Structure 1
């Protein structure tokens, strides 16, 4: 076996996804998965620091970097205990970290992910590959999306052109031409996925997400509001392009909508935000790959039945399906992708696709933090909430917005 672990926490900031996989064959085998929710105090501080209005110093950043590193390390140890796999059997952990800011179009392009990989290596004894995005940015790329080459390895087909849509906080698509392999693969962020819907229902109902899109189905999409939102210049930008909640947030919604938000019922706004995600995603897919006959959906949005139904209605003859039908549960595709990227790094192989990110060329991504020299003993100080996460089968919406 060639065992790898992928770690990810997405723009929703709801916790850590850990995926243990055997990558010894062209068809990866998932051995185990684990979702570790962030403790409420950590989540509160993360959101405060990631807020556009935040004015925080390096002390908080450094403390959160260390804290999140501990949480990621605990996720590995709990996953190993759950699966019965020893740390010595795992070749590497691929840790994406927690994105706080993504600004590839700034005067000094940058992207910031925290979650100290040294702590993960020290706590687990496993070699860690981390900091995947910044090498691509340094090479003139967007640093995102990085998952398209993994999508090609996982879901490419020799006979059928396909699209993979990842609907996390932000949505992105990967275009997979007929034939499989990375040649000709394209991809980009299409705009908001769940981030606006989640923020709106949190504000008005105190809920972290709209279960199955039920609240959105109580309302009706408002044409005027939708037109204001679709008029944002991001949607017309050519690829390569990437974005994040730094752009698409409730302040953005207020600015674009103006007085309309005060006139509409909250459920009508929610329905409009669902329509925005569905239209921008399907519209981008049709433009980028009109020949594609199938869209495979992963991420938390795959569990929003109202969103999936609306996407299918807009997609016409193109089939919209969950990646579960093709061997990988939607909740774990991104974590598996970062296990795959760790393998690429250790083998000295490129992890980016220049035609996707806009980088000057292929690059081996990430930095390697050697493991060994420690045991997986319990920490001296607890940083957990004390509540064990349920499995995705028992609580699939725990993975709402990767």
Structure 2
């Protein structure tokens, strides 16, 4: 399914977000939002590495002015606590509060870094951290207390971006394609933007204006399986530059068996939980030396993207890679060999490859305030363009 999205959604599925109390109102009581809002995005990805924060000014459509960004790694104790609640088990409420307050601290540090007053920020887009994603059961769970964050920062917060889509029958992921489309601007089409976080996802954009097309879905494992292997077998959180994988031997049989999983043949849109392939990966790498386990897991990430390319409506003219995976030399070398087009990190275009998802949630927060679509049939499989998000005002 390929979608041709407009900037606004229509019908009952597109609901107006609650207006910001501290923005001006027109005489008839309708919100008079400024053309550009300053929005702070916060993202905690499935790689469990930390929190990305970024500031942008945007109208939620084509206008995006980039501001400062920063990344704060999770303390080991908090990272371990997050791992303990994956799947929705354990002390979720306790971990949620700790994660929320850590996000607040990161946001404050970003504002201090940029010399920006709290009163100059119109809204915060707060993704939270996904601990469970089961769209086939109409369930998705991102921990993060939006009301607590709004009170702590003194800034309105939009969170809960995925629930409306999942409740309406969509996958609830990926959500970044709306922002990818805004960034793609004048790029030659079709173009593919590949995000390699814990899970990989691709946004394919073709055509222009009224004929613009968009298709997005999760490709398969990104960094999660590699990172988990590294932590178990070496005590290190990730394979820096892909060096260990490059020293290992790729078990082609293990890679082929992995790609036999029915997910890779399933037509998009489709999405994954971080740990959907954990048991399979553990079985296929059992007994392997550290390097010989890292090598096939890295090859699987590449092979999953190659399999995803078969689902695209037309071959991309280029692949633009963001997320932590773009810094893994073994992955990037593999993609360059596997894909029939140039493969480049998004940084080559002047985009911030580390902050792109945080910027995306800043952008989506503004779209939510304006009642604009966050998802489309071609991005999540939802029946029609759908708004989402929940607004929390500071007390």
Sort the TM-score into its range (normalised by shorter chain): 0.7 to 0.9
Aligned pairs for 1:166-315 within 5 A: 166-179=195-208, 183-249=212-278, 251-255=279-283, 257=284, 261-262=286-287, 264-315=288-339
Per the alignment, residue 56 of structure 2 pairs with: 21
Aligned pairs for 1:3-402 within 5 A: 3-23=38-58, 26-50=62-86, 55-56=89-90, 60-106=91-137, 109-157=138-186, 159-179=188-208, 183-249=212-278, 251-255=279-283, 257=284, 261-262=286-287, 264-316=288-340, 318-371=341-394
Contact preservation (8 Å) 2:132, 2:142: yes
Contact preservation (8 Å) 1:3, 1:22: yes
Distance 2:265 2:113 in 1: 46
The RMSD of aligned alpha carbons is: 1.8
Deviating 4+ runs (over 6 angstroms): none
Distance 1:101 1:130 in 2: 16
- Shift of residue 159 of structure 1? 3.8
Change over 3 Å in CA distance of 1:286–1:64 after alignment to 2: same
SS in 2 for 1:145: coil
- Shift of residue 181 of structure 1? 7.9
How many residue pairs were aligned?
359
Residues 270-322 of structure 1: CA deviation (Å, up to 9, x unaligned): 11111111111123124314431101100000111221111001113x01011
Residues 135-154 of structure 1: CA deviation (Å, up to 9, x unaligned): 10111101001111111111
Distance 2:141 2:56 in 1: 27
SS in 1 for 2:54: strand
Contact preservation (8 Å) 1:350, 1:363: yes
Mark the runs of 5 or more structure 1 residues left unpaired by the alignment.
374-402
- Shift of residue 180 of structure 1? 6.0
Distance 1:158 1:224 in 2: 39
Contact preservation (8 Å) 1:101, 1:246: no
Contact preservation (8 Å) 2:180, 2:193: yes
Distance 1:213 1:193 in 2: 13
Mark the runs of 5 or more structure 2 residues left unpaired by the alignment.
1-35
Residues 175-199 of structure 1: CA deviation (Å, up to 9, x unaligned): 0103268942001001100011111
Distance 1:32 1:362 in 2: 31
Residues 210-264 of structure 1: CA deviation (Å, up to 9, x unaligned): 0000000001211111111111111111112100223122x22134x2xx632x4
Change over 3 Å in CA distance of 1:12–1:83 after alignment to 2: same
- Shift of residue 354 of structure 1? 2.1
- Shift of residue 355 of structure 1? 1.9
SS in 2 for 1:241: coil
| TM-score, length-scaled by structure 2 | 0.87
Contact preservation (8 Å) 1:157, 1:180: no
| TM-score, length-scaled by structure 1 | 0.85
SS in 2 for 1:331: coil
